[in-house]
Structure formats: C-alpha cells, structure tokens
Amino acid sequence: MTRIALDAMGGDFAPEQVVIGAVEAAAQQQDVKVLLVGQLAPIQAELDKLSPELRRSAQEAMVKGTLEIVHAPDIAGMDEEAAKTIHRKPDCSINVAMRLVKEGRADAFVSAGNSGAIAASAIFNLGRTPGVKRPAIATVLPTTDPERPIIILDAGANMDCKPEWLVQFAIMGDAYSKAVLKRTTPAIGLLSIGTEDCKGNEMTKETFPLLKKSSELNFVGNIEGKDLYKGHIDVAVCDGFVGNVVLKTTESIAKAIGLRLKAACTSTPLRILGALLLKGAFRDLKKVMDPEACGGAPLLGVSGAVIIGHGSSSHRAIFNAVKAGVAAATNDVSGMIAKSIAEHAEDAE
C-alpha cells in the first residue's frame, strides 16, 4: 500500500476541498492510504459536513485503515515568507507531513499550499538528491498529441539560475519522463527566443553548448514558445521565472478560450443545436486540456516524492495529486534522478 502524506491545510480552499479529495482518494484508489495532516478540529468539522455518501466512505476508509488523520497544530500561510515560516513553525502541517516521509511512515508528500514553503521544507527535511544543486518544479502540460504531454521545468522553484543548473533540470526532466511518462528517448529543448544556436540571453547561450555535448541526453536544440504544444518535444528547460510565466499564461489562455467558446456556442439557437451535437467532442477536449487532470507538479531533486498542487486546487485536483504522488513514489523517481546525475557527472569527467 502506498502511503500519501496529504497537507490538509494547504491551498486556497483548504481544508474543505482537501478533505473531500482525501476521502475520495482513500475510497476509490486501490492500495493507497491517505494520511491527512492538519489541525484536528477543522478537519473533523469538514468531515461532519460531508454528504451522507461521502461521510460513509470516510468512515469505511478509516475502518479499513486507508484514511488516517495526523494532527499538526500550525499552518504555513500562503502569503508567508517560505524559509522563515518553515523554521519558525516546525509543527506546521507542511513540516509534519514532510517528516512522515522522512521517517518512512509515508511514501510521498502532497500539498496545494505555499510552494516556496514546500520546497524549503523538502530540502530541510528530506535533503537534496545526491549531486543535485537545485531542485526544480516539473509541470506536465497537454499538447496537440494526447499521448505526448510536455514537461516544463523549472516552473517556479528557482527564479535566477546558472547554466549548470539548467543542465541538471534537463537530466531530471529526462529521468521523470522515462520513469513516469514512459518515454524511451525524451526529446529535450532549451526554451529561448529563437531556434538558432546564437539566440537567447547570456544564460541560455551558455547553457546550449553544455547540453549539446551531453551524450546521455537527446538534446534537440533551442525551442520557442510556439513549439511547446506541438507534441514533438518531451522536456522544455528554462529558469523558474520563465517557466512560471509560461505556466500561468497557458492556464489563463486556456480559460479565456473556454469562456469565449462557450459564449460563441450559445449565442444563437442554431449554434446551441450545433454545440449539443459536438458535446462529446467538447467533453474530450476539456478532459485533455484540464489542468486539474494532472493534479500537481513533482518537485524533482529532493530525496523523496513531493507533489505541489495548484493553490486553487479543487477536490478533483487533490484526488489527482494523490495519484501523482503514488506514481512518483512507485516509480522511484528520486532514485532514477540520483543515478542519472551520477552518470552524467562521470561522462563529464
């Protein structure tokens, strides 16, 4: 049974949506135990508010041992300074849940809370994967090929980067793509402002030759923003500032297109009829493009499975984040990254 330490207090809609997602995950996902970490009173209040069906599912899960509440007296706020909060509040839900992983009582950590605090707690409690200079957030996004999503990293953990860090991001993205997405030879691109070798800022221009000389990576060269969603690149490497802008812009555009499409399809009776005929196609499109389908992004480069969810995660996103945690833990992503880092270090020598 894979044990997931789930931060009940993290996210804009915590603990309500986290509790619902936890109950659904414990009841519906096979061989998964959810350790719901947070303040007992608010968690119990949300359990009491559940629908009769979900409340029954929660009770059954607790009896079976697939759902357990672990008390954590403090909370790391979404707007608090990351590193200071983690040290000032040793018993906040993020730290308590992370320690469960450290102590071997859980196999993965999941939270939709303060991403900076999560990264700081992971480094402090779990430590970096051997050889890794800076952990990175790897976000999986859909492309025009439903079978070939793209990984973008870093998506927000490191705002200012060095070329050698970006090389390690490529190595970590390559390992994750192989382990979880089952790509045999992931195509890796360096996100820049042009495909030519000479294009980009100083950091990307210094990173390019380092990636090119790595015989262990399938580096295809520079890529532009327009290449991200074509389905021919598996890993896009960039610093955390650029990656986070790409991620949030993508989410915003997808939402805007959805709203405009809905308005256009309901503007006349004839269009409403046409929309009804295309209802199945729209459902399939939403399923592919829905960011909540991934649940969360793995923090790669720490000695353990850590999944960071979106701050506005709903119970459905929490459910899928638990699935992502299971995938990261059962595929030993951290171990694969450590092995890849060591191999690349030997190759560089």
Instruction: Indicate if 188 and 152 belong to the same structural domain.
Output: yes
Q: Which residues of the chain have pLDDT under 50?
A: none
pLDDT of residue 270: 85
Closest to 176 (Cα-Cα) out of 211, 150, 156: 150
Q: Does residue 337 belong to any structural domain of this protein?
A: no
Which tokens belong to 250?
């993508």
pLDDT of residue 331: 84
269 vs 273: CA distance, rounded Å: 6
Instruction: Indicate if 6 and 26 belong to the same structural domain.
Output: yes
Question: What string of DSSP letters covers 63-126?
Answer: HHTSEEEEE--B---TTS-HHHHHHH-TTBHHHHHHHHHHTTS-SEEEE-S-HHHHHHHHHHHT
Instruction: Indicate if 78 and 178 belong to the same structural domain.
Output: no
164 vs 103: CA distance, rounded Å: 32
Instruction: Indicate if 246 and 203 belong to the same structural domain.
Output: yes
Instruction: Indicate if 144 and 270 belong to the same structural domain.
Output: yes
Tell me which residue range forms the domain holding 60. 1-132+301-332
Distances 342 to 132, 133, 141, 251 between C-alpha atoms, Å: 9, 12, 28, 35
Q: Convert the pLDDT of each residue in 83-135 to its tens digit.
A: 788 889 999 999 999 999 999 999 999 999 988 899 999 999 999 998 899 99
Cα dihedral 136, 141, 145, 147 sign: positive
Instruction: Indicate if 11 and 102 belong to the same structural domain.
Output: yes
E strand or H helix at 38, and its extent? strand 32-38
pTM over the 0.85 mark: yes
Q: Does residue 344 belong to any structural domain of this protein?
A: no
Instruction: Indicate if 227 and 178 belong to the same structural domain.
Output: yes
Q: Does residue 35 belong to any structural domain of this protein?
A: yes
Instruction: Indicate if 23 and 120 belong to the same structural domain.
Output: yes
Q: Convert the pLDDT of each residue in 142-159 to its tens digit.
A: 888 888 889 999 998 888
Distances 175 to 56, 154, 293 between C-alpha atoms, Å: 40, 14, 22
pLDDT of residue 303: 92
Q: Is 3 exposed, middle or buried (0-12, 13-18, 19+ CB in 10 A)?
A: buried
Instruction: Indicate if 181 and 305 belong to the same structural domain.
Output: no
Q: Does residue 339 belong to any structural domain of this protein?
A: no
Instruction: Indicate if 142 and 288 belong to the same structural domain.
Output: yes
- Per the structure, how many domains does the chain have? 2
Residue 302 DSSP SS3: strand
Q: Does residue 54 belong to any structural domain of this protein?
A: yes
Instruction: Indicate if 79 and 119 belong to the same structural domain.
Output: yes
- What CATH number should be reported for the domain holding residue 74? 3.40.718.10
